[in-house]
Structure 1
Amino acid sequence: MSLALRSSKLLTLIGIAGAGILAAATLLLSARGTVWTQYDYKVLDLYYRAAVASGRGPAQSDRIVITTITDKTYDYFQKNTLDRSDLAEVNDALARLGAEALGYDVIFARASNEHSDTRFAESIRKHGAVYLPIGLAFSDQPRSFRWEEGRAYERFRSDFLRRPVERGEANPYHATRALMQYDLFSEEAFNSGHISAYSDPDGVYRHLLMLLKVDEEYFPTITLSIFLDHVGTPFEKVLVEWGKRIVIPASKEGFLEKDLVIPIDERGRAVIPYPAAWDRAFKKMEANALLNYLKDENLQGNLADFFEGKFVLIGDISIGTADLGHTPLEGDAPLVLLHAAMLNGMLTNTFFSKWSLTEAIVVLWGMSILLGLSAAIRSSWTLYATGGAVAVFLAGFTWTEFNGFQLFPVATVGGSVLLVFLGLLATLELAVGRERSFIKKAFSRYLPGKVVDTLLSNPELLKLGGEERVMSVLFSDLAGFTSISERMVPSQLVRLLNEYLTNMTDIVLAEGGIIDKFEGDAIMAEFGAPLPMNDHADRAVRAGLLMQKRLRELRSVWAAQGLPELKCRVGINTGTMIVGNMGSDQVFDYTVIGDSVNLASRLEGANKRYDTALMISESTFTSLTPGLFRTRVLDLIKVKGKSMAVKVFEVLGENSLALKPNEELYYQAYEEAFAAYLSRDFHPARAKFQKALSLRPNDPAAKDMLERIENLDPDTLPPDWDGSISLTSK
């Protein structure tokens, strides 16, 4: 794959388009204040399921047990409602088995019968570590809490609300009203916390509100309360860095060996680290099974192993009463799983942290710059390949990050990168389309079709504005065309000229040259542009020979039609010249300029002096493939306006051209004479030129050389005499 870069104009457009789209995406994300969208969470749900299925999910603590109240439990007690005296039996059983703490996911808001309520309250007091939750309605805007009368509200205010240490700009959810526990139970509860569930806009429970603001103080989730009591850390010692983390500090008074850090967002939400779907998450036992097994002395030891030192969460999951919700791992799951999963995260120190806006933007910029660099490479496949590689990288990177419990916003970043990719692609398609249209319009009339196709595929080969290049340029002109045109009617003249120019153009294009311009009957053509070619001199000379051959054929046809005889002269030079589009912004022409171009034009005119048809310069002669053409030296000339002499040659034809014996002798005699002339051996030179003239009577070149020798005084020649002649006409 070619790594050649696109044109500077395209590179500028790529830079502007890429930077513009990237800046717009960055500003949009910054204005939102977060990089996270529901699309990110939905994609990460797929990663979550794959991670758990492959055993890469959060570890499960063996210290959590969920005791469930099911339809079988109601059947066991032979009741249609939950009798609190029956629950007292469950509390007593768990106290007897040594459960560390009991956390209810049930709110007992009203009194039932006095006996049952008293019995339940006694069981709470007897265990000593029963957590009864409070349900809070909340708002995302600051609201005052609606206080009511009752001992539950009094204890809520005095014992359960606290202020942690805060840093950063707080933007918590505000509690507006409460569903309290019955006063009797609230008084006996060891501690409390909220069980208010929060679902994302798509209805999936991915986050848990770690604390809610109640007027000027805060109330933690029940799992945070349980854990803080377990490690001996007061809520007032907890550090809340809004938008970053909750830090439960290690201390000499507590049981934590090192700080526990729970990542949160600016609203106090933490990602729930579900270790598995409901069926495979944590140890579970139905309340009725617990009581049944406890009656069997042979099973009591097993029950003690099952519950001793465990955190037991109790929830009602019976049909018609259970709170169910969607989690990232499954459809309907009992919401007690939310609290069990968060407590599990604290016990195992396993939490998900989310990439910040700044971090995501850095990745977005890195991927976009990579795409921009690939777009700068000429082959569009590089951009496609890079885009595919970026997509694969983001998918793999997200998986790697997820396995490290780092959540990467792959949908937002990937979508933004896709936007940059499509923007670059659209920019390239538009710019390349315009460039292709320009090239086709500019060259289709005077370039071979295959050259136009190559330029369309490789527009960087055409450097707009001009570049220096070694090329060969050809000039041709019809001899005596002015007098011929005066004798013809205009319509006939136009037809004749068009036929001539069409045939000559076909030859130039067939040899890979381009038509620079027509000036009346004159043709200017270049070889070696816009596509570089190593054999441009060969092609130019071959084109000149074929033009002469084709014109001889046309003369026969025209003679039969009574049309005048046309002869053309061709001059070719090879050298460094400037090639490119030149002119104004509105009107320009693809052409060549420079002394090398002017010399070719002068050589075309110099043919008249020597009665030759195809003259080339020494630089063209030395650029030809050896043995390809039959040539002969002609003279050393200084064209009008130039002081440097140029050796010129006549091209007779292809090397396979058979010459008559006299012609062979003529060329041999002329070359020997010219060599002697340049060496100032004028007597041998004169003799050789005379021999050449005898072989070709009336030869202008031999006559001219003899005349020059006769006019020379060898004794007065200056030291810098080079044997050249200055031409006074163009």
Structure 2
Amino acid sequence: MLRRLRQALAKYWARWLLALALTVVAASQVIGVLPGEWVGRLDLFFYDLRMRVVKAELDPRIVIVDIDERSIAELGRWPWSRDVVAQLVKQMTQNYHAASVGFDVVFAEPDTSSGYSRLEELAKGELKDVPQFARQLQALKPEMDYDARLADALKGQPVVMGYAFSNESNAVTVGQLPAPAFTVADLGGRRLEAVQWRSYGANLSQLQLAAAAGGFFNPMVDDDGMVRSVALISRQADGFYESLALATARVALNGKRIKPIFLRNDMMSDEAARDYGALDSIAVEVKPDTLFIPVERRMTAQVTYRGHGGPDGGAFRYVSAVDVVRGAYPHDKLDGRIMLVGTTVPGLKDLRATPVNPVYPGVEIHANLIASILDGDFKQRPDFAVGYDMLQVVLIGLLLGLLLPMLGPLWSIVLTLASAFGLGAFNFWLYDAGGLVLPLATALLLVAALFICNLGWGYLFEYRNRKAIVNLFGEYVAPELVAEMAANPESYNMEGEIRELTVMFSDVRGFTTISESLPPNELREYINVYLTAMSEDIRNDRGTLDKYIGDAVMAFWGAPLEVPDHAARAVATALRMQQTTVKLNEEFIRRNWPPLKIGVGLNTGQMRVGDMGSKIRKAYTVMGDAVNLSSRLESITKVYGVGVLVGHATREAAPGFAYRELDRVRVKGKNEPVPIYEPLAPEAELDPELRAEVGQWHAALAALRAQRWDEAEAAILALREKNARGLYDLYLERITHYRSDPPPADWDGVTTFETK
């Protein structure tokens, strides 16, 4: 045991030392010794990712009354006159009996749209001596003072008026703030950290005083412009004020008083414990039990986004405001809900950048917070986050630092991926089940750094002898085959040799027409997509990609790596390529590109394979008579209207497939005729109907070769009646020709092709 330990130390000490150094660097970043702004941004990315992967479910408790394009088109441009808003309030509170209503808009200026203010000026000025005018004006006041009408609609109803705080140097304070939730004097000398504001733009005094409550709707914007948190309580002067979400939820729950709750001192009694020490939560006095809302530093809370936002986001029901004003929306979907009035119209500038959507309706941020308050479901960054991060960094440093140097590339990848996945899954579980927002970026970066350093070390000092084999064959052969060859590189070279291989030629039918119908850039993309898909099919079945010849592809099986079943793999690949063209055509049709059709020729035989060419350029390729026949077979696929043609040798070498014999042909450059076949499917997977059709075809072909023209014609006509194929039309034409010009007595049934 001691001897093995010495050997391991002698072999791996340098990499273990490197792992220790990387772990120390990561730990230094965790405790803040090293700058980590970019690491923090990566943690924010993972935080955002957690919310993007959660599927939204409709929350029926909260409804967003949307001042949308339709509402503006039918009720007039925004802002609407206060009599329209008053009607909206009455419908929500008296017709639909809202649990509470939160306005994500502010009414800071008087409404003069009725002309009442001008009439008042006249009554005090030019017409002050006309008592009849003053009396008539007083009688019209209930109808024309729209602000008063809205105030009347608000009285006694569970409506929360929204307003905005500001820290701008030139901001003007306007309007009436609601009563604070509590004041500095209520804290009894305790310090309470909160987001502090200098000024505000609030609602008209008569509106705010008539409403049940008010709440600010300022979001907290991070350095990257995203809204991830909102202050639930903020300070202005000596008062602490509740947010729109908190106030709306409190009113819906019939909550009365809000107070901050402080962490307990173990030396104090239970009665005094909640009023001592650092802030723990916010308490809302509701019946039967007080509601405790956990908060983070400065009384903020993380927003748990439940959907992608907007009417189609899936988390909350959006109702057009015009339908509510007219009372046209179904009661069963609106009665008794918490309602938030806001807008999704871009021109009204209430769209926010959030982790789930760069144009997220601001009103829905409040809806998410209300849902969290009702459910007690808040995600928090705990105080022990730094300790947790340090622990996972040390454990990862020990585990991967010790094991990676002793593992090969495959197991190193497995361990690295397993570690990264385990860290991410555990972090997500703590977020989802425990509501904890914990750091992840530093630990994952350490995992990546340890893996990359060990991989680089292994490449530089242990696997350099494999580089040559990769350089030789990486362009032609699938990566997994290169890995097999690299395990024993001395067994492979580029020297020429004679082997039995299966070679393939594939070509696009009608490519000239396709090229004339597409602009150059689209034609390039078209051919690149096609060649990529075909090449992947070839390489995925251990094929060697030889070359591209324009739109044609040449490949072979059985070299440089020996593949005993090279013919079967080539046939399977050819059939798969036909299936791939069907899938590609679905995409091409969507892009208004011409459909794709290919012909594939396969042949098996002895051929020379190796590095061939000139002193200027060489390539690993194949040559021989069997190669030429494969090319000829590809060119005559269009004659027989089939996608794949194979020679007799390929059929014999790949007996596990069902074939349709098409003809016996004598191609240009060969004197001996060869049977040609169309592979249909693996023998065990052939459809019974197709099997019967093939049997009938072979019988018809035998009758034709026996010159029984009527019998052959009748059989082929019957086949064509069931399934129209170009092959059947071809042979019917031949029968017609043979009747008028009978073949010689020594006719062997061979078709001769004089062109390539």
Taking structure 1 as the reference length, what is the TM-score of the superposition? 0.49
Taking structure 2 as the reference length, what is the TM-score of the superposition? 0.48
Q: Max radius of gyration: which structure?
A: 1
